[in-house]
């Protein structure tokens, strides 16, 4: 069964994809959100272990509260001489409380200082509105200052993203938690188009339309919660949420390949051309997650059976970002095909 750690076979080399810029990016990375359960020290220890086993792509964010710890790990890796900066693809994100005038540069400066880097490979707008929630808040928390999406406000933030890209501080810029109606509104106005889109993606929530929309425009999708985020914060848990690793279609493929269902979720996503960023603080799990992309591929029939198993079950509903007057979390996701205001 995949998952046994054998040092002699490390590090694992994940196949690379090519972005529209021509830059290379690993086909799988590691997430670094401790989900309000794993401490900054636990996550940064996992990043150190992940570097050893072969991860070269790391998805960071200021709001995860651990960039300083992770920065120490990167600095030690470079100082050891075993890794060069250009061997890694490191991304981070501007949090929702930094959408004010001049804030993107300030936010990135702090991230660069914390991660101890001179540039990030990708910088994302974490959410497309300035709606702040405190780390660790519960699902009923609401900020009365929250606002619906505003094209004008978003484009001002994007203009600052374009500036930090031109300054060489972010090699690529991207968006996260977008919808097709929002993409349709913003793309014609971008001087520099997003190179990457980060979106929730797992077998029970495939977002095929958004995924295909991005691929068609040479925007690389990065899939978050790729295993269905079993330890996500309580605010992101709702009755009726599907557990990906317990879906019969996933278990059937796992049994055929003699692998854990979590690895089926990852192999499926990599084969589609998305880049999953699973998080784990468990060495056996994160090693298996990386290694599975070099193992036997899923068959066309297995890919088709997973495609047919989509449950449209969004896990990160984002209700804590709702503005006064909004009806439900669905207002954040433009369900009826137009931007909800
Ligand atoms: N852009 C955004 O708004 C956004 C939103 C959410 C997440 N993200 C990013 O996406 C990353 C991944 O999402 P996520 O962490 O929520 O969910 P996830 O990667 O789907 O699930 C992580 C959980 O799965 C468990 N796990 C990992 N590998 C496993 C394996 N092989 N077998 C069994 N269990 C396994 C881990 O537990 P163990 O630690 O015990 O292995 C961990 O608790 C985040 O860390 C973050 O970087 C971005």
Residue 6 above 70 pLDDT?
no
pLDDT digits (tens, 9 = 90+) for 138-190: 888 888 899 999 999 999 999 999 999 999 999 999 999 999 999 999 999 99
Q: Please provide the DSSP assignment of 77-143 as one string.
A: HHHTTS--GGG-EEEEEE-GGG-STTHHHHHHHHHHHHHT-S-EEEEEESSSS-----TT--TT---
Q: Does residue 277 sit within a domain?
A: yes
The residues facing 221 across adjacent strands are 197
CA separation, residue 148 to residues 259, 326, 333 (Å)? 43, 8, 11
Per-residue confidence (pLDDT) for residue 8, from 0 to 100: 55
pLDDT digits (tens, 9 = 90+) for 90-132: 999 999 999 999 999 999 999 999 999 999 999 999 999 998 8
**What's the gap in Å between 192 CA and the centre of ligand 1?**
30
pLDDT digits (tens, 9 = 90+) for 221-277: 999 999 999 999 988 999 999 999 999 999 999 999 999 999 999 999 999 999 999
Q: Does residue 324 sit within a domain?
A: yes
Q: Which residue of 33, 265, 290, 295 sits with most ligand 1 atoms within 8 Å of its CB, as the best mutation to test the pocket?
A: 33
Q: Does residue 338 sit within a domain?
A: no
Per-residue confidence (pLDDT) for residue 4, from 0 to 100: 46
**Residues belonging to the active site:** 64
Q: What is the CATH number of the domain that holds 314?
A: 3.20.20.100
Ligand 1 lined by 83 (C-beta under 6 Å): no
Integer Cα distance of 64 and 115 in angstroms: 12
Q: Which residue of 270, 280, 316 sits with most ligand 1 atoms within 8 Å of its CB, as the best mutation to test the pocket?
A: 280
Number of domains comprising the chain: 1
Q: Does residue 131 sit within a domain?
A: yes
Nearest CA to ligand 1 atom 31: 285
Q: Which residue has the higher pLDDT, 136 or 9?
A: 136
Residue 5 above 70 pLDDT?
no
Q: Does residue 233 sit within a domain?
A: yes
Range of the domain at 88: 7-333
Integer Cα distance of 116 and 68 in angstroms: 8
Per-residue confidence (pLDDT) for residue 7, from 0 to 100: 58
Ligand 1 lined by 229 (C-beta under 6 Å): yes
Q: Does residue 340 sit within a domain?
A: no
pLDDT digits (tens, 9 = 90+) for 16-50: 999 999 999 999 999 999 988 999 999 999 999 99
Ligand 1 lined by 116 (C-beta under 6 Å): no
pLDDT digits (tens, 9 = 90+) for 208-220: 999 999 999 999 9
């Amino acid at each position: 069964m995949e998952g046994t750690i054998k040092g002699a076979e490390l590090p694992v080399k994940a196949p690379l994809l090519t972005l529209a810029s021509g830059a290379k990016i690993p086909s799988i990375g590691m997430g670094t959100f401790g989900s309000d359960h794993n401490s900054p020290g636990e996550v940064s220890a996992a990043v150190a272990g992940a570097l050893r086993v072969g991860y070269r792509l790391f998805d960071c964010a200021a709001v995860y509260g651990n960039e300083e710890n992770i920065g120490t790990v990167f600095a030690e890796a470079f100082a050891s001489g075993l890794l060069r900066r250009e061997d890694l693809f490191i991304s981070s994100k501007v949090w929702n409380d930094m959408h004010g005038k001049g804030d993107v540069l300030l936010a990135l400066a702090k991230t660069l200082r914390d991660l101890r880097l001179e540039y990030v490979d990708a910088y994302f707008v974490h959410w497309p509105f300035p709606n702040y929630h405190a780390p660790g808040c519960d699902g009923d928390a609401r900020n009365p200052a929250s606002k619906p999406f505003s094209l004008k406000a978003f484009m001002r933030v994007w203009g600052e993203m374009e500036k930090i890209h031109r300054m060489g501080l972010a090699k690529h810029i991207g968006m996260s938690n977008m919808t097709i109606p929002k993409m349709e509104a913003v793309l014609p106005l971008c001087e520099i188009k997003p190179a990457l889109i980060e979106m929730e993606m797992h077998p029970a929530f495939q977002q095929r339309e958004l995924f295909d929309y991005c691929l068609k425009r040479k925007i690389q999708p990065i899939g978050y919660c790729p295993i269905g985020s079993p330890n996500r914060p309580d605010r992101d848990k709702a009755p009726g949420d599907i557990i990906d690793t317990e879906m019969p279609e996933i278990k059937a493929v796992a049994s055929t390949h003699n692998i854990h269902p979590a690895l089926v979720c990852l192999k499926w996503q990599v084969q589609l051309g998305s880049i999953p960023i699973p998080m784990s603080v468990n060495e056996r799990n994160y090693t298996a997650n990386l290694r599975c992309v070099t193992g036997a591929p899923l068959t066309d029939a297995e890919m088709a059976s997973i495609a047919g198993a989509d449950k449209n079950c969004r896990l990160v509903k984002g209700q804590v970002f709702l503005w006064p007057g909004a009806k439900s979390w669905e207002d954040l996701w433009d369900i009826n095909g137009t931007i909800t205001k």
